[in-house]
Chains A and B, each alone.
Chain A
Amino acid sequence: SQELEQSPQSLIVQEGKNLTINCTSSKTLYGLYWYKQKYGEGLIFLMMLQKGGEEKSHEKITAKLDEKKQQSSLHITASQPSHAGIYLCGADFWYNAGNMLTFGGGTRLMVKP
Chain B
Amino acid sequence: KAGVTQTPRYLIKTRGQQVTLSCSPISGHRSVSWYQQTPGQGLQFLFEYFSETQRNKGNFPGRFSGRQFSNSRSEMNVSTLELGDSALYLCASSLGGLPYEQYFGPGTRLTVT
Residue numbers of A with Cβ under 8 A of B are 1, 31, 33, 35, 40-45, 48, 50, 88, 90, 92, 96-106
Contacts and interface: CB of A to CB of B under 8 A. Distances in A.
A56 to B, nearest CB: 12
A100 B109 contact: no
Interface of B: 4, 31, 33, 35, 42-45, 48, 50, 55-56, 58, 88, 90, 92, 94, 96, 99-107, 109
A100 B45 contact: yes
Given A42-B4, A43-B90, A48-B101, A99 B96 contact: yes
B43 A103 contact: yes
Q: Per DSSP, are chain B's interface residues mostly helix, strand or loop, or mixed?
A: strand
A99 B33 contact: yes
Contact of A98 (B43, B48, B104): B48
A33 B14 CA distance: 36
A44 B107 CA distance: 12
Contacts of B94: 99
B50 A40 contact: no
Contacts of A101: 33, 35, 45, 92, 100, 102
